Amino acid sequence: MSAIPFDTLKFARHLEASGLTASAAAGAAEALADALTGADLATKGDLAAVGNGVAIEFAAVRSEFAAVRSEIAAVKTELKNGIELLRRDITIKFGSMLVIAVGILLAAIRYLPPHP
């Protein structure tokens, strides 16, 4: 943003004509000139630099988010595989217990005294 053109001498003369002292008019003119030319005003370049910085940070956040999503996917796959292994283990243990229980029942039936 370019500075606003401002004639301090003309402004000071208007202030003097309306009754201010020359030193007060000169001080007011300088203060207004500083405010209008303002080193503190943002330029298009300043805004572009801030915009670029925001874009860079946004891209960094996006890449971090993508990394988190891939980590979540990896954890999900790991949990899925772990649950599958646990399901197999439970099936094998349950099957083994069933075979043992049937064996015990068959042995118990074999050794029962005959029924008259």
Which pLDDT score is estimated for 4? Answer: 64
Which pLDDT score is estimated for 7? Answer: 79
1 has pLDDT over 70? no
35 and 50 housed in the same domain: no
103 and 71 housed in the same domain: yes
| pLDDT tens for each residue of 43-59 | 888 889 999 999 999 99
87 and 97 housed in the same domain: yes
Range of the domain at 78: 43-116
Question: pTM of this prediction?
Answer: 0.47
| pLDDT tens for each residue of 53-97 | 999 999 999 999 999 999 999 999 999 999 999 999 999 999 999
Total number of domains in the chain: 2
63 and 111 housed in the same domain: yes
Other Cβ atoms less than 10 A from the Cβ of 34: the count is: 13
36 and 48 housed in the same domain: no
* Residue among 16, 93, 92, 2 nearest 45 (CA): 2
10 and 61 housed in the same domain: no
4 and 60 housed in the same domain: no
Q: Is 38 in contact with 3 (CB distance < 8 Å)?
A: yes
Q: Report the amino acid identity of residue 110.
A: R
